[in-house]
Amino acid sequence: MTISGSTRVFMVLGDPVAQVQAPQIFNRVFQRFGVDAVLVPAQVRADCLSAFAHAVLAAGNIDGLWLTIPHKTTLVSELARMDACARAAQSVNAVRRQANGELEGALFDGLGLVGALRHFGIEPRGLRVLLLGAGGAGAAIAAALLDHGVARLALHDLGSRATELAGRLADGDDGRISVQSADPEGFDLVINATPLGLRADDPLPFDVRRLDARAKVVDILMKPQPTPLLRACAERGIEAHPGFEMLVQQVPHYLSFFGMDAIAETLKTDLSDVRLGLQSL
């Protein structure tokens, strides 16, 4: 990769950022298609995010931001426009500058998760789902799962976040949403959208022994090695998947949002190169 004065710059903001995989994925895509652009990570504290985002997007050659833990909900009140998923979840993971200088956001986590489920052979329609974590990613996933016809969606998080998310999504959900404990018994699919597992000494997000034998698990954490949750599921013979495919499935959506529609359409037909690049990390 050659960086020059004409290179377009994108940034992925988080705290921490050591776990992010987006730079490796998107820089590979940029190189493959001859796009003079680069995506770089930046570790930004939550109390600095607003000022940082406005400052960097004022630069003429910085075209957009990816947002990851814990920043997906922070900028919502400062955006002039959001897509429908972002409005429902009150969360964004992509922000761009409009021609008039206002900021616009979009949310792709939920679409990525649904795409990943289908890649794994799991059709969400009709499933009983327990979703652990009601932050930015969890909110996106909840909105997408409801939109794609799950039969039941139970939310769990610390504090009041699960209740607040359930309230935002309740309109038109036909009573499918509930707030409950982290007990996975009785669910077809359990999704970990909490940060538990980022550190080696984190507890498991739920008791794997309570899973139904045929239940499926997705841990959305982007870790190069199996998370403690995935290892615990493997010991029980439970089908469990990491979060990498969720990111793979979001790639075309990000590219379209940032004006690279032709590349996005090409990748939609075959994401194998993106997947291969991620697996090689």
Catalytic one of 72, 216, 223, 268: 72
Q: Is 72 a catalytic residue?
A: yes
How many C-beta neighbours within 10 Å does residue 24 have? 13
How many C-beta neighbours within 10 Å does residue 152 have? 17
Q: Which two tokens stand for residue 11?
A: 């940034």
The residues near 100 (Cβ < 8 Å, ≥ 6 apart) are: none
Catalytic annotation, residues:
72
